[in-house]
Structure 1
Amino acid sequence: MHRSAPRLSRILACAAVPVMLVAAGCSSDSGSDSKKNAGSSSSGTPSAKPSEPTVEAARFDDLPDPCGAIAKKTIKDLVPEAKKENGTAGRSNDLAARSSCSWNGLDDKGVDGSQYRWLDVGFTRFDSDQSLGSGAKRATAEYTKQVAKAKAAEGAEKVAAEPTTGVGEEATTVTYGLSKTGEDFVYATVVARTGNVVVTLTYNGAGYAGAKTPSSASIVKGAQKATKEAVAAVADTADTKATPPPAGGSDDAKKDAKKDTAKGSGSDSPKSKAKPNTKTS
């Protein structure tokens, strides 16, 4: 009897070992689960990432007819005896994104020689893009690029650039001289930005057969006047699209409404239907 007591104690001790191991195992699993669930919400669903901020919407979604963006009277004043009064449109794969038009003419003054003038206006529009930025931001980069391009014109002499107020949201006028065809030309390029659209206008002139070279002041004045009209045409195009046509009414009433809109834009010329042409001065 005395010998059986120790043996019974050993059996009870051995029987207790598996119970302790099982308890330990349960404790370990519980800790593992808590670690796995540490990064989850109480519902078991991972927390959502914050969404990226959307870019500002583009202000303008279309461009004006470039050959109708400058008033007919202004064209007559700046380019006397223009070969094509309605201008020559430049080629473009997308007229809502990029367009241009140019005019040139030689005004024969007889024994006093001749005056040559050339005018070109171009529009570039940018859409807002989540990966590229807002249309205004992209247009600002293009504006800077066009100013630098004008200042680096090949063969340009006495290049000068200065900020220009009252033309769009920002504008720069670049002036320089250039000798070609045996004559001295005076150039003025005005680069302006309005919203997500960049307007680049170049105006130049020269005197032939003994005629005086035009003054830089007169060329700059003409270039800035034409650029103001081109910038205004961008806004007028947007306003025209935003205003619905009059409901009902006769065809004559609708035509009168269109005429009133054209007068409000500062342009008295109809939109040109000239075929694309890449000829330049």
Structure 2
Amino acid sequence: MHRSAPRLSRILACAAVPVMLVVAGCSSDSDEAKGSGSSTSPSVKKTEPTVEPAKFATLPDACGSIGKKTIEDLVPKTKTKSGTPGKSSDTAVRGGCSWNGLDDNGVKGSQYRWLDVGFTRFDSDQSLGSGAKRATEEYTKQVSKAQATEGAKKASAKPAEDIGEQATSVTYSLTKSKEDFEYATIVARTGNVVVSVTYNGAGFAGAKTPSAADILKGARKAAAEAVAAVGADKPTASPSGEASSSAKPSAKASSSAKATSKATSKTTAKATAKS
């Protein structure tokens, strides 16, 4: 009996070894799983969505954005037909131009007109938003500013259809130097650019004040031309990626090739006749 006791202890010890190994193996796999899970979580990074690129990179020449014929019609006897450019430290971001004139008809009175156009462009910014979004915010501010003109009477704001991507017309009357003026401001947005056109007029020395409808009509015409001028000089890309203007040289080259072909045919015919 005394001899069997040590033997039994040895058997139990050997039997316990595989169990310990299995437990150790499971514990090791569990630790690795935990380790692999904790190592991957820090590598997951949140990526911010990329803002939409700005549609227009430049602005048109403000004084050339409205046609000469339109200027003659809206501002008779204008002092400077080419317009007076506004001051800007960066013409790629902000620009403006104005015209004014007095059509003096002597005892019949005089008609005064004033026209102003302004452009504001916004770039896309990761922290501030897309150029279009920023331009929309500026558009809203300018409409509100026009509506809040000090001393304005009979102010009215309405959507201006068919001008840019969105536009609003603000009309009102204003008395200055004892004269009654009619005003119309068109604020429009196209892409990342805000266009603002203000047109006003008054009758002096007994002349009749222009109608609000005529002033609004003139403002709409000028605004439509100013909006169309945005990006008008931007070259359009063909499917091959080349500027569409490259089609003209190819046409000339084709004409040249035809002329060369005709000359070659005539030379060949003469040589054949001689032989």
- Both proteins in one fold, TM over 0.5: yes
Q: Confirm or deny that 1:95 pairs with 2:87.
A: no
Instruction: Tell me the residue number matched to 2:75.
Output: 79
Instruction: Tell me the residue number matched to 1:4.
Output: 3
- What is the CA-CA distance between 1:25 and the residue it aligns to? 3.0
**Is the Cα contact below 8 Å between 2:122 and 2:131 reproduced in 1?**
yes
Change in Cα spacing, 1:12 to 1:239, as seen in structure 2 (3 Å) is closer
Change in Cα spacing, 1:114 to 1:240, as seen in structure 2 (3 Å) is farther
Structure 2 gap ranges (5+): 238-242, 250-275
- What is the CA-CA distance between 1:201 and the residue it aligns to? 0.2
- Please give the TM-score of this superposition, normalised by the length of structure 1: 0.75
Q: Confirm or deny that 1:156 pairs with 2:155.
A: no
Q: Confirm or deny that 1:204 pairs with 2:200.
A: yes
**Is the Cα contact below 8 Å between 1:175 and 1:189 reproduced in 2?**
yes
Instruction: Tell me the residue number matched to 1:124.
Output: 120
**Following the alignment from structure 2 to structure 1, what is the Cα–Cα distance between the partners of residues 131 and 244?**
23
**Following the alignment from structure 2 to structure 1, what is the Cα–Cα distance between the partners of residues 25 and 222?**
85
- What is the CA-CA distance between 1:77 and the residue it aligns to? 1.8
- What is the CA-CA distance between 1:239 and the residue it aligns to? 4.1
1:237 aligns to what SS in structure 2? Answer: coil
**Is the Cα contact below 8 Å between 2:70 and 2:222 reproduced in 1?**
yes
1:226 aligns to what SS in structure 2? Answer: helix
- What is the CA-CA distance between 1:199 and the residue it aligns to? 0.9
**Following the alignment from structure 2 to structure 1, what is the Cα–Cα distance between the partners of residues 9 and 167?**
99
Residue type matched to 1:160 in 2? S
**Is the Cα contact below 8 Å between 2:139 and 2:189 reproduced in 1?**
yes
Deviates more, 1:79-88 or 1:221-230: 79-88
Change in Cα spacing, 1:240 to 1:116, as seen in structure 2 (3 Å) is farther
- What is the CA-CA distance between 1:81 and the residue it aligns to? 2.1
- What is the CA-CA distance between 1:37 and the residue it aligns to? 2.5
**Following the alignment from structure 1 to structure 2, what is the Cα–Cα distance between the partners of residues 120 and 39?**
64
Instruction: Tell me the residue number matched to 2:217.
Output: 221
Instruction: Tell me the residue number matched to 1:279.
Output: none
- What is the CA-CA distance between 1:187 and the residue it aligns to? 0.4
Percent of aligned positions that are identical: 58
Q: How large is the RMSD of aligned CA atoms in angstroms?
A: 3.0
**Following the alignment from structure 1 to structure 2, what is the Cα–Cα distance between the partners of residues 243 and 80?**
38
Change in Cα spacing, 1:58 to 1:38, as seen in structure 2 (3 Å) is same
1:206 aligns to what SS in structure 2? Answer: strand
Residue type matched to 1:26 in 2? G
**Is the Cα contact below 8 Å between 2:235 and 2:245 reproduced in 1?**
no
Q: Confirm or deny that 1:134 pairs with 2:133.
A: no
Residue type matched to 1:25 in 2? A
**Following the alignment from structure 1 to structure 2, what is the Cα–Cα distance between the partners of residues 127 and 97?**
9
- Please give the TM-score of this superposition, normalised by the length of structure 2: 0.76
- What is the CA-CA distance between 1:38 and the residue it aligns to? 4.4
Give aligned pairs, total. 244
**Is the Cα contact below 8 Å between 1:63 and 1:237 reproduced in 2?**
no
**Is the Cα contact below 8 Å between 2:186 and 2:198 reproduced in 1?**
yes
The equivalences for 1:11-160 within 5 A come to: 13=12, 20-21=19-20, 23-38=22-37, 52-160=48-156
**Quick one: which of 187, 209, 213 aligns to 1:191?**
187
Deviations 1:185-206 (CA, angstroms, capped at 9, x unpaired): 1100011222222210000111
Q: Which is greater in Rg?
A: 2
**Quick one: which of 175, 178, 182 aligns to 2:174?**
178
Q: Confirm or deny that 1:165 pairs with 2:161.
A: yes
Deviations 1:155-202 (CA, angstroms, capped at 9, x unpaired): 111111111222222221110011112211110001122222221000
**Is the Cα contact below 8 Å between 2:58 and 2:231 reproduced in 1?**
no
The equivalences for 1:263-274 within 5 A come to: none
- What is the CA-CA distance between 1:56 and the residue it aligns to? 3.3
**Following the alignment from structure 2 to structure 1, what is the Cα–Cα distance between the partners of residues 236 and 11?**
98
Structure number with the bigger relative contact order (C-alpha 8 A, sep ≥ 6) is: 1
Q: Which has the higher helix share?
A: 2
